[in-house]
Structure 1
Amino acid sequence: MTLSRQLILLVCLLFFLVFAGTFFISLQNTRDYLENQLDSHAQDTATSLGLSLKPHLEKNDIATMDSMVDAIFDRGYYTLISLEKMDGSIIVKSSQPVKIEGVPEWFVNLIPLNAPFRSSVITMGWNPGAKVIVQSNPGYAYDDLWDSAAGMLRWSLGSLLAAIIIVIVALRFILSPLRDIAKQALAIASREFPILEKLPRTRDLRVVVLAMNKMASKVENMLAEQTELAEKMRREAYDDPVTGLINRRGFNLNLDRMVTAKEEVPYGAMFIVQIADFDDYNKKNGYAAGDELLKQVTQLLADLVEPSREPVLARISGSEFAVLIGNLSVEEAQEIGESISRGLGKVNLGQTDDITLHIGVGYYRAKLSAADLLAGADMALRSAQRSGETSCCLSDTGVAGSVQVRGATQIKEMIQNAIDAHGFVFYFQPVKMLADGQVLHYELLARIKDENGDLIPAGVFIPTAERFGITTEIDRILVEQVLEMIAASPDSSNTFALNLSATSVLNQEFVDWLCDKIEASSSVAHRIMFEMTETGALIDLERVSTLVERLREHGVSFGLDHFGARHASFGYLKSLKLDYIKIDGSYVVNIGDEKENQFFVGAISKIAHGLEMKVIAEMVESESDFNTLAGLNIDAAQGYYLGKPGESLDV
């Protein structure tokens, strides 16, 4: 029960007690007054009648006395008028039973009226000769008492009702700041920090509101400061201040992640782009012009590489840039390299000097190390430099013996077959709590079958699906398959996380379909959760936030995958109200040896926990990384160290 209702009930009870007490006191006073009236009336009648009867008593004129008594008695105000001798013998007597009409019997029994007998002695000379005895009829008094009680009750109830209404209105007005405070507290719990502008007039409540406002501001500022500090330290550690790209350290983290994530990225390419004679350009044109050239090259790289491929762009030295793209065929790598070469060959800033750029492409396949990939790309760069003009060269390293890479059309056909047959295959990878090793949930990793029945991971076929615009269709089938799988095991408590593409999340028709589907499967909806990449969420945070809220209404959790991979500001976390975030593997791989990564992950953990989000680490591949993460207050983790993806839940 709310405080306002408790106060209203308490005040109403007090008013009821006051009005009840007042009513009964008034009733008792009226009763006492009427009894006094009955007593006085009987005594006055006895006295006056005695004086009137005295002359007739002396003559012993009984007939006249009887007539006089009847005349008075017939007025109806008496139950007994008797003229008796001193020895008790009756001379004249008139009496009638008490009749009370128009008054409930329970009222008469509840409030008895005492009608006393009153007498007056008639003297004969100096001796008493007779006495008159009179008793008033209480029936009329009961009429008056009933009317008075009914009137007082109506007045009391009316006054009580009016008082209650006034109290309710007054308390609602007085306590309205408490409702605002409750809303503010709930908002803070929901990771919002509103300030109550309107201060209550009541001094005590004003103090509470001011304290709540101060707390909301301090919590918000504390989170903002933590966020700003973490972002600042990350920028200093991983970002290039001139171009805004990640630096060599950040690039190495992403490179290590790519060669470690063999399931997601079985093959790919690295491009090294070098501005020739950059030192001479700086000396001749000035450092400001050199910085401008770097920025223009950065922009051209960003424009020339498709964002759907989620490329990693970095400035790895003074005049060198690097681009890392996963799941590229050799032909696609060569094509992208030449496209970059043609685009960058047109760079000029109005200077008379031509800008020469050299591009080396290293091809990556599974089992190739980061050092081998770097060496291959560097070797290709040296070959391009020897040409003396803007050119692109592809290294043989990683090409020979590379995995089979199918064309986009062939992969699209395989995807369509899976869509038509609802034939996507799920692999399960456990996400385990660091505290006790219990499974938090299983991430579902989708696969499709090729013509030989071999499985192709999502990292390979999803880029093709994006290119052909069929990712939303894939997501629909995946959601339906997951719900069917969960419904087939109603006794299980396992929960599953499914990745959704940004294209689907930002498609209103798909979002409506998804929410309807979840609502129709309400009995099992709590066992499914969704996640998407941070890169995709940053496209339209408002739409993502709307989806998160709608799913939460059905008890479905939502999280961000690869958090931190894009090196974007993460102040947006406050507004998204996620259930969890998964820290990108680039910060997790070999974290035991990377102090900067430890600081970043620890800072993110504090911020996320302050926003009531769980923090999950991806790609935990060693005991050292696991132990380091445990000391950073991470909630859960996934990776080969905790369990490889498998076709069954016993992974």
Structure 2
Amino acid sequence: MSLKNQLIATVLAVLLGLVLSTFYILSDSTRDTLLTQLESHAEDSATHLGLYLAPYMQRKDQATIATAVNAIFDSGFYQQIEIQDSQGNALYLKQYKADTAINAPAWLISLIPITPPEKVRPITYQWQQVGSIHVRSRAGYAYEQLWQSMQQTLVLFVSLAVATALMLSLLLRQLLKPLQGVEHQAMALARREYIEQPHLPRTRELRRVVMAMNLMVRQVEHMFAEQNRNIESLRSTAYRDSLTGLNNRRALLTQLAEHLEYRQDFGPASLVLFHLNDLQTLNLRLGEEDTNHLIQQCAHSLQTLGQAMGPHVVGRLGGGDLVLMTQRRGLDEWQQKLTGTLNLAQQLVHGQQANAADMPVASIGIASGDQTWSVDKLLSQARLIQQEAEQAGSGLMLLQDQQQQHGWSEQWQTHVANAIHNEQIFLQQQTLEDETGLCIHAEVFARILDQDNTPCQAGDFLGVARDLKLLEAVDRLIVKHAIQHLQHHPQAPKLGLNLANQTLAEPTFVKWLLRQLKDSQQASRISIEVNETAILTHLDNIRQLRSALAKLGVQFGVDNFGTHPNGFSYLYALKPDYLKLDGSLIRQLDQSDEDRFFVSSLISVAHSLDIRAYAEHVERDTQHQALVRLGIDGTQGYLHGKPSPLAASQV
């Protein structure tokens, strides 16, 4: 019960006590008054009857006596009126029947005993006693009058009590409004929302409470902000190059391997190795400050290029070596896109009047390979090509492994498009398990068969779908097949559906998705996962989607969490149900103290917001043990098994 209601109840309880006391006093006083009134009526009636009936009593005229007695008896004040002659014989008797009902509750009659008064009046006529009159008042009249008075008092009390309660409610609402603000502050603080009350109450005690709460909110906000700054500082120290702000060598190699081995979101990839020729000579010629500025400008140009090309990884290997990996493109397209970066480097070194006689400042090697290529193989091929370009000394010369294809073949594009249009996709699943091995949910992956009737790599399939703008069609099929699977397998685990960034940017798809989930009875068994990059790109739209999904009982998760350079402040506004730490943070977790500390900080941030933290791409038992010690809520990866056909899952 709220404080306001408790105060109102207390006041009403006090009023009730006062009313009960008043009832008791009133009933006792009213009883005495009624008895006095009845006694007076009895005496007056006996006197008046005696004066009137004296001659008729001498003659024993019973008809006249009966007429006079009945007229007085009908007033209702009397229980019995008896007329006796001088010998004590009854001339006339009038009384209420014993079983006559009293218009008052039985509990009142038993609680307040009333003994009605009786008056006897001797009657004389012409100096002779002719008889006597016996008048007894009726107790029922007293009870009826007493009950009527109590009812009127009760109605008045109830009316006053209701009016008092309303007035108290309004008054207390105003007086206790600051406390409601304090409660709102406390609940918001638990959600990592920092709200201060701008208006201080006039009441001294409440003013102190509000001031103390405002001070605590500011201190907690400062503490959380300091925690976030420390985590961001740790991220920068461990994973960011201090000069360019890009991924450092360690983070770069880890993320390259993550994309090639797990995400496969590039399909066949191109790795661009940008190299500043003879960095030592540049340092001597330009000075350290200008050389660093040159590296920063080239890094920014390469990063901007990567952002314009879609999914990418960019970082600095060290010295004058920068790396960009993205979806494979042909030599002519790379020539067009990278010319600006090479010209920028030339101009920064030789000035605006650079000419062909100037030695090339930078050289670029591009290696393209399919998804079976490792990071080491791509980097070594790109290095060899870059060295050939540097030795050739041809300025803007770009070399590429000519044995690789220049993009998707028309035959393969047609095959993928036909598979999607004919709904010839199938789903695989990989379980997410808690510490005890229980399945939390199964993440779903879409696959198609290639021309040899074997499941193809995700990058080969989804990369073409992205180029052909068919990712929305793929996601529609994933949602449709997942709902059908849950309907046919009521004992199957919950499913996690990872939707593409491009699909979520389509309002028509979002409306379709919400309608499908609303019409289905399986909504509570579905989780929607969104890549962290998509969230940071379309935060407002994703927040609306998250709110709509919550109303349908659908859980919402953040995938690939923890690597985006913009940090994770969006968690406070989005409040997802769970997040999955990016696999690049897990690869060396059992070997790196920095990775363990950073992952531990991310888990702490999630738990402080009541968000569950999961880890993906867990392959070794040592990784799993380290994550359990850090407080992870669930793990997913080859340690628990490779993806298996969805239709065969029965848990």
| Range of TM-score over shorter length | 0.7 to 0.9
Q: Show the counterpart of 1:239.
A: 240
- How many Å separate the matches in 1 of 2:114 and 2:388? 125
**Structure 1's 617 and 592: CA in aligned 2 closer, same or farther, altered over 3 A?**
same
Cα deviation, 1:61-116, whole Å, max 9, x if unaligned, reads: 668999899879855667566676786356xx66533599xx98432865586432
The alignment yields a C-alpha RMSD, in angstroms, of 4.1
TM-score under structure 1 length normalisation: 0.84
Q: Show the counterpart of 1:500.
A: 499
- How many Å separate the matches in 1 of 2:397 and 2:632? 44
Contact 2:191 2:572 in 1 (8 A): no
Letter in 2 for 1:388: G
Matches within 5 A, 1:45-56: none
Contact 1:605 1:615 in 2 (8 A): yes
- How many Å separate the matches in 1 of 2:626 and 2:150? 83
**Structure 1's 277 and 7: CA in aligned 2 closer, same or farther, altered over 3 A?**
same
Aligned-pair CA distance for 1:359: 0.5
Contact 1:376 1:395 in 2 (8 A): no
1:489 matched to 2:489? The reply is yes
**Structure 1's 367 and 48: CA in aligned 2 closer, same or farther, altered over 3 A?**
closer
Q: Show the counterpart of 2:298.
A: 297
Aligned-pair CA distance for 1:487: 1.3
TM-score under structure 2 length normalisation: 0.84
Q: Comparing 135-144 with 408-417, which one deviates more in the overlay?
A: 135-144
- How many Å separate the matches in 1 of 2:430 and 2:83? 114
Contact 2:497 2:526 in 1 (8 A): yes
Aligned residues: 633
Aligned-pair CA distance for 1:593: 2.0
Q: Show the counterpart of 2:30.
A: 30
Contact 1:384 1:392 in 2 (8 A): yes
- How many Å separate the matches in 2 of 1:549 and 1:106? 64
Q: Comparing 202-211 with 161-170, which one deviates more in the overlay?
A: 202-211
Letter in 2 for 1:375: S
Q: Show the counterpart of 1:593.
A: 591
Percent identity reads 30
1:442 matched to 2:442? The reply is yes
Q: Give the secondary structure class of the aligned counterpart of 2:367.
A: strand
Unaligned runs of 5+ in 2: none
Cα deviation, 1:265-318, whole Å, max 9, x if unaligned, reads: 674232211223444445444544434433332332234346454211112223
Aligned-pair CA distance for 1:229: 0.8
Contact 1:272 1:361 in 2 (8 A): yes
**Structure 1's 447 and 156: CA in aligned 2 closer, same or farther, altered over 3 A?**
same
Contact 1:83 1:133 in 2 (8 A): yes
Cα deviation, 1:390-443, whole Å, max 9, x if unaligned, reads: 2455465xx86x7x886264443233222222211212222222x212222211
Aligned-pair CA distance for 1:551: 0.7
Matches within 5 A, 1:564-575: 564-575=562-573
Q: Show the counterpart of 2:633.
A: 635
- How many Å separate the matches in 2 of 1:31 and 1:214? 63
Cα deviation, 1:206-264, whole Å, max 9, x if unaligned, reads: 66655655555454443332221111111122222332212222212223334543866
Matches within 5 A, 1:401-412: 407=408, 409-412=410-413
Contact 1:443 1:497 in 2 (8 A): yes
- How many Å separate the matches in 2 of 1:358 and 1:577? 46
Q: Show the counterpart of 1:310.
A: 311
Q: Show the counterpart of 2:622.
A: 624
Letter in 1 for 2:336: S
Q: Comparing 221-230 with 71-80, which one deviates more in the overlay?
A: 71-80
Q: Show the counterpart of 2:513.
A: 514
Q: Show the counterpart of 2:383.
A: 378
Cα deviation, 1:528-566, whole Å, max 9, x if unaligned, reads: 211122122211111111111111111111212222333
- How many Å separate the matches in 2 of 1:640 and 1:333? 34
Q: Show the counterpart of 2:157.
A: 156
Letter in 2 for 1:415: V
- How many Å separate the matches in 2 of 1:338 and 1:269? 13
- How many Å separate the matches in 2 of 1:261 and 1:67? 121
Matches within 5 A, 1:130-279: 133-136=134-137, 145=146, 148-177=149-178, 179-199=180-200, 213=214, 216-261=217-262, 267-279=268-280
Letter in 2 for 1:559: G
Q: Show the counterpart of 1:107.
A: 104
- How many Å separate the matches in 2 of 1:89 and 1:155? 51
**Structure 1's 203 and 66: CA in aligned 2 closer, same or farther, altered over 3 A?**
farther
- How many Å separate the matches in 2 of 1:104 and 1:86? 35
Aligned-pair CA distance for 1:374: 2.8
**Structure 1's 49 and 335: CA in aligned 2 closer, same or farther, altered over 3 A?**
same
**Structure 1's 74 and 250: CA in aligned 2 closer, same or farther, altered over 3 A?**
closer
Q: Give the secondary structure class of the aligned counterpart of 2:639.
A: coil
Aligned-pair CA distance for 1:203: 6.3
Contact 1:247 1:314 in 2 (8 A): yes
Letter in 2 for 1:252: L
Q: Show the counterpart of 2:39.
A: 39
Q: Give the secondary structure class of the aligned counterpart of 1:437.
A: coil
Q: Show the counterpart of 2:361.
A: 356
Contact 1:377 1:394 in 2 (8 A): no
- Which of the numbers 531, 548, 560 marks the counterpart of 1:562? 560
- How many Å separate the matches in 2 of 1:227 and 1:497? 29
- How many Å separate the matches in 2 of 1:371 and 1:452? 29
Aligned-pair CA distance for 1:144: 5.3
Contact 1:122 1:130 in 2 (8 A): yes
Q: Show the counterpart of 1:344.
A: 341
Q: Show the counterpart of 1:468.
A: 468
- How many Å separate the matches in 1 of 2:229 and 2:613? 19
**Structure 1's 154 and 556: CA in aligned 2 closer, same or farther, altered over 3 A?**
closer
Q: Give the secondary structure class of the aligned counterpart of 1:591.
A: coil
Q: Show the counterpart of 2:120.
A: 119
Letter in 1 for 2:442: Y
Q: Comparing 534-543 with 19-28, which one deviates more in the overlay?
A: 19-28
Q: Give the secondary structure class of the aligned counterpart of 1:429.
A: strand
Letter in 1 for 2:552: H
- How many Å separate the matches in 2 of 1:414 and 1:211? 67
Letter in 1 for 2:394: E
Cα deviation, 1:119-141, whole Å, max 9, x if unaligned, reads: 356899x9999765444567876
Letter in 2 for 1:551: L
Contact 1:308 1:466 in 2 (8 A): no
Cα deviation, 1:445-485, whole Å, max 9, x if unaligned, reads: 11122222232233233333333322222211221111112
Q: Give the secondary structure class of the aligned counterpart of 2:95.
A: coil
Contact 2:70 2:94 in 1 (8 A): no
**Structure 1's 204 and 412: CA in aligned 2 closer, same or farther, altered over 3 A?**
farther
**Structure 1's 73 and 238: CA in aligned 2 closer, same or farther, altered over 3 A?**
closer
Q: Comparing 607-616 with 364-373, which one deviates more in the overlay?
A: 364-373
Aligned-pair CA distance for 1:36: 1.0
- How many Å separate the matches in 1 of 2:609 and 2:151? 63
**Structure 1's 199 and 279: CA in aligned 2 closer, same or farther, altered over 3 A?**
same
- How many Å separate the matches in 1 of 2:369 and 2:456? 17
**Structure 1's 322 and 65: CA in aligned 2 closer, same or farther, altered over 3 A?**
closer
1:388 matched to 2:389? The reply is no
Q: Give the secondary structure class of the aligned counterpart of 2:640.
A: coil
Letter in 1 for 2:584: S
Letter in 2 for 1:498: L
